[in-house]
Amino acid sequence: MTSEFQLNTFSFGDAAGNGAWLVSHYRNHLQYNASLASRSPPIEIPEFQILTVEGGKLGRQTWLNDHQSWHSLIRPFANVTGIDLSTVDFDNEADFYAWIDAHNQEHQLLDIVFNV
């Protein structure tokens, strides 16, 4: 299984790139869930609404919280730790890139562990 999620594929302020990133990122999370569900016994992880971000800052915070929840549930099965992905100011360019880098590192590890 190959991940279709491309790490760090959009730049700060790139709305179109962010949209493409959201889709492939969501699908990558579905791959993690599928990998866990294929184990014996199966491990069922709920899906969170991280495909789109709606509603300005409140919508972004909801997305960040849901995304953090998903990572928190799968991390123990991968023996992976990471930052609190719900705390970032996406309006700050330096914070955005620091978050993207930390998030990319975690997804690289998850891809290896879950064989995607």
Average pLDDT over residues 111-116: 94
**Who's near 94: CB < 8 A, 6+ residues apart?**
none
Does residue 5 register a pLDDT over 70? Answer: no
Sketch the domain layout of the chain as residue ranges: 15-113
36 against 14, higher pLDDT: 36
C-alpha atoms less than 13 angstroms from C-alpha of 54 in its C-beta half-sphere: 3
13 φ/ψ sector (left φ>0, alpha ψ -120 to 50, else beta): left
Does residue 93 register a pLDDT over 80? Answer: yes
In the block, tokens 């990998």 appear at: 35
Pseudo-torsion of CA 5, 97, 104, 70, nearest 10°? -80
